[in-house]
Structures are given as C-alpha cells and as structure tokens.
Amino acid sequence: MDATTQVKEFLTSRRGRITPEQAGLPVFSGNRRVTGLRREEVALLAGVSVDYYVRLERGNLGGVSDTVLESLSRALQLDEVEHAHLFDLAHTQNAAPTARRRRLTNRVRPNVQRMLDAMSAPAFVRNGRSDFLAGNRLGRALYSPLFIDPIGTPNTARFAFLDPRARTFYPDWDQLASDLVAVLRTEAGRSPYDKGLTDLIGELSTRSDDFHVRWATHDVRAHRSGLKRIHHPVVGDLELTYEALDLNADTGLTFVVYGTLPDSASEQALELLAAWAATADAEERSAALVIDQDPSADMVRRFE
C-alpha cells in the first residue's frame, strides 16, 4: 500500500464526486471533460495555487501544514472520517521513518478477557484488519461460522468475501461488504506498513472481484455504532445493536459489544443462542475429559 498512491487516488476520487453546483461555483455553457471538479477549481476553493494543488494530488503531502489540509478538506467537502483519513495520510508521509510504524498489538490481555467473560451480552475484541482475536462464549457463538475451517486467525472480512455462507449469514451483505472495505481502507491510512493488513488486502483483491471493485472507490468509514442483522444457522434472524470502543491501553484493538431491544424476538433468539452455546461448551469439555482419560476415544469420536 504505497502512501503516495493512496494520497493520489483518494484526492482524485473525492474531487471527482463533487459537481461545480455542489461547490457553489458558476457553471458556464459548453461541455466539461470531467464530471466532478477540475484541479484549478479545487485550488480556488482551497486557497492555494493550481501548481501546488497538482503537487498534492500527485501524492506529495510532504511538509503540508494542517491549515492547508483543513482548507483542502473543506474544498472537497470531506466528512469527519474522510477528514481524519486525509490527516492520517499526511502524517504518515511527514513522520520520520522510524516513527511511521504504529506499535500495534494483537495480544488480548488477561484482564480484557476477564471483562469479556463477565459480560452477558455477545462481545469480542478485533484489530484494525478485522481479526476476531478474543470473545466471550456468546460472542464466539454469535460468530460461530467464522470458526469453521478458518485460514489463520478468524477474520470477518475474509469470511464475508471468501466464504459463500456469508451471504446467508449477513442478510444485508452488500452494505456490510462496503462497510468492511471502507473500514480496512481507513486502517490502511493509519497503518500502511502493517504487513498483516497488506497481505489481507492483497489476498482479498486477487480472490474477490467484489472486494476489488469496492477497494477502488477509496471510501472510508468508522464502524462505531449501529444496527446489524444476522441470520444465524442455529437460532435464525437476529437484529442487534452494537457499540465499538477503542482499547486505549492496547493500540489498534477495539472492544465490540452487541445488544437487543427489550422483549424483542431477537432478545429471545439470543437467549436460545446462549443456551445452545452453554450446552455445546459442556459437551466439548465432557469429550475432552473422556479423551484425556482414554486417548483412543478420540479416534472413536472422529468416526461417529
């Protein structure tokens, strides 16, 4: 994920979506060769020279002041997340080489796991590339399809784009897929040197046309709260609210908690899922105990 290319393509894509009318500029008769703003129009709106803006759009944000970035954000009508993304891209380019890598962690501390286990609602911890790093019993049960033959660490983006079961699991798959890509694009602006993220994006880009098309839009998004619909293979349809909270002591990790409306069908379905998860855990512990006492029992269980 070359930082220069990211800047170039992001600015070009944002310029291309704004019409002169939306920017409050006069429109003269005659054909325009671009559907969005011209470079000179963005320069005018941002209060910089055309040559300077051309340099920015070529991907060079080196030495650009926050004041210019603010003006550019207003000219391109960036929302809050896009604004932050532009600043992330600029700060990455302007940071010293030794400071460019965010000190990310994929280790979930025991105290965080205890917090997860103490919660009755589904909860889990993910990193910026959508790895499911830890969860409580109900969180793992909610996302049980992720744990069926996962490649490495269970990952919601890999599941969404590469597992055919995802389109049934997520009734709103199209919107969810776009949101996942936008979240990964946002993370790429913050952590362009994260090899795990680069590898994941490369894998999904080459194996999924749906991902490749969405990645090219350069949309960014923060997944902080909202509503998610799931069709679970055990309990059926669930409509869940969610809140995502950054773990300030663990850079790059996010704590996600789900809930339901009181006395709703989803609340009842979640109670059924909790009972199923408890039964499944008890059966697994019982099987593990039998195998521990008689290793040959594992061979019998495999062929049942």
8-39 pLDDT, tens digit each:
999 999 999 999 999 998 877 667 777 799 99
Domain membership flag for residue 159: yes
Q: How confident is the model at residue 286 (pLDDT cuts 50, 70, 90)?
A: low
* Total number of domains in the chain: 2
Report if residue 143 sits inside a domain: yes
Q: Is residue 13 assigned to a domain?
A: yes
**Which of helix, strand or coil describes residue 207?**
helix
Domain of 87, CATH number, reads: 1.10.260.40
Q: Is residue 212 part of a domain?
A: yes
- Domain co-membership, 146 together with 79: no
Q: Is the pLDDT of residue 300 over 50?
A: no
Cβ atoms of residues 106 and 127 within 8 Å: yes
Query: Is the model's pLDDT at 150 over the cut of 80?
Result: no
What is the DSSP annotation of 14-75?
HHHT--HHHHT----SS--S-SS--HHHHHHHHTS-HHHHHHHHTT--TT--HHHHHHHHHH
Split at pLDDT 50, 70, 90, the class of 99 is: low
pLDDT for the residue numbered 102: 64
With residues binned 3-state (H G I as helix, E B as strand, rest as coil), the percentages for the chain, rounded to 5, are: 55, 10, 35
What are the beta bridge partners of residue 125? 134, 255
Would you say the pTM of this structure is higher than 0.95?
no
Q: What is the model's pLDDT at position 238?
A: 97
Q: Domain with 156 in it: what CATH number?
A: 3.30.450.180
Do 50 and 95 belong to one domain?
A: yes
Q: Of 68, 99, 130, at which residue does a domain stop?
A: 99
Domain that holds residue 67: 3-99
**pLDDT attached to residue 289:** 45
